[in-house]
Amino acid sequence: MKVEYAPRGLVGVLTPQANTTVEPEFGIMLPPGIGMINARMMSPHASLEARLLDYFAALDQHVLQFANAPVDVVALATTGPSYLVGLEAELATIDRLQQKLGVPFLTSAQAVIKSLRALQAEKIGLVSPYPPALTEASITYWRANMFEVAAVSQVTGDATSFHAIYSIPARDAREGLTQMCDKNLDAVLMLGTGMPTLSPILEARSILDVPVLSCMLCLGWACIDALEPAGSNARQSLASWINGDDWGKTLRARQWPAQP
């Protein structure tokens, strides 16, 4: 069944409780005819790692927020749980939820893997907004998936704000990319779904000669590919996506002040 504002498909998005980036970036990336509904994952824990594990442990409950809405794909818009639980537990959970829901269940981490493999990228650099322990867990995860992590740059948020990651401005995320110059990489990955990355990705072409991706960028592309598979044209489709051919004009129109 198709709904009025999503005749090409409806995405159910699971978002961490205080995240201020996921919904706006999905709103920018999703093309006309593909819609989204959002569910917030809640946790009472104070530490980031404990919240991430809590989100993952309660996924069966979180998806119930969609009730009987005719979602065509469900997207987990947080990458940290995948690092912490490991690949085996992540894949088992994906399989279980896909059988339960009857639609594709995508994690942002697996969306990144799908994207990097479409690009045939093996040697990657990471731009991380995470605390050191979570950055290390991320490195372990990517290496377990057969990627060489050759460079890491750290973006530090304001610890006194409502959330150190979600309050990072795009200009600081962009600064993290400058540290990836001359590193002989196949691709650069901006970590997390809370740090704003779409504007830095569009501007990255002026400073880097390799593809720049982010967890949100990959998740958006993977959702669309699940609805309308690119098949043998996946690499071309992803290259166009990274270039902002689909969503770049929308981003510029929604920036404040608006960009030409």
Per-residue pLDDT tens digits for 197-233: 999 999 998 899 999 999 999 999 999 999 999 999 9
Q: Where in the chain is the domain with CATH 3.40.50.1860?
A: 113-214
Q: How far apart are CA 13 and CA 63, in angstroms?
A: 9
Whole-model pTM: value is 0.95
Q: Does 3.40.190.10 match the CATH number of domain 113-214?
A: no
- Long-range Cβ contact pairs of 44-48 (< 8 A, separation 24 or more): 48/80, 48/131, 48/134
Highest CATH level, class, for 9-111+216-254 = alpha beta
Q: Where in the chain is the domain with CATH 3.40.50.12500?
A: 9-111+216-254
Per-residue pLDDT tens digits for 146-188: 999 999 999 986 666 766 677 788 888 888 999 999 899 999 9
